[in-house]
Amino acid sequence: MDDTFFTVASQKNPRITVRVVAGHFATNSAHRSHYIDIFDLMASASVARDAARELAVPYRTSTLVDAIVYMDNTEILAAFLADELLQAGMSVMNEGSEILLLTPMVSSDGHFIFHQTVQEKIKNKNVVLMVASFSTGATADRMLECLSYYGCNLVGISAVFSVYSELDGREIHSLFDCADIPDYHFYQPSECKMCKEGIKIDAIISSEGYTKF
């Protein structure tokens, strides 16, 4: 791994870009062939606003949204998405409404949970799930289980990057997918092709970035 990043533009909007570097990366649930740097999309106001406009397209004129449940430090992106959905305009579904921004906690046994006060606000409400990326099914399944348990009506799934086009029969609206990074691969740790070929792990990925060995 030589830390040489290349830039990838979203096919949906070429003004939205991410930086990508190839290597052998590990998370607590998967190994990946690339690290996708989405920091600007989650921290820069101007970039996040452009991204939110694109993410709002599937919902703006067709979907009532009461809350956005965000994960992976995507609160700024979620806030701009809510703002886009609340804008006035012809056939805009959420004009004059209110959209809550909520995030779950993680219990000691790894389950996603909401405080009692939050539970009362999301039960029977229309929820959009916002995540940074979907690369493995484990976290996604736990999050869907959480929303179902608390009685949410999941009306949309949005992500910056997703290896999947749908989850549990629901379309995932992502800014980037594997078509944008043709050589992208991900593996369960026990099935990692790079490990089997003797390629050592270059870095560990976290929500803040990556840390080299």
Reading the chain (213 residues) residue by residue, the pLDDT tens digits are: 677 899 999 988 888 999 999 999 998 888 999 999 998 888 888 899 999 999 999 999 999 999 999 998 899 999 999 999 998 876 788 887 899 999 999 988 888 999 999 999 999 999 999 999 887 667 788 899 999 999 999 999 999 999 899 988 889 999 999 999 989 999 989 999 999 999 999 999 987 788 997
Structure tokens at 187: 């593996």
Q: In the prediction, which pLDDT does 101 show?
A: 97
Q: In the prediction, which pLDDT does 29 show?
A: 83
Q: Are 128 and 37 in contact (CB under 8 A)?
A: no
Please give the CATH number for the structural domain made up of 6-212. Answer: 3.40.50.2020
Q: Are 61 and 92 in contact (CB under 8 A)?
A: yes
Domain locations along the chain: 6-212
Q: In the prediction, which pLDDT does 5 show?
A: 93
β-pairing, 31-37 with 17-26? antiparallel
By C-alpha distance, which of 178, 195, 198 is closest to 36? 178
In Å, how far from its chain's centre is CA 173?
9
Q: In the prediction, which pLDDT does 137 show?
A: 67
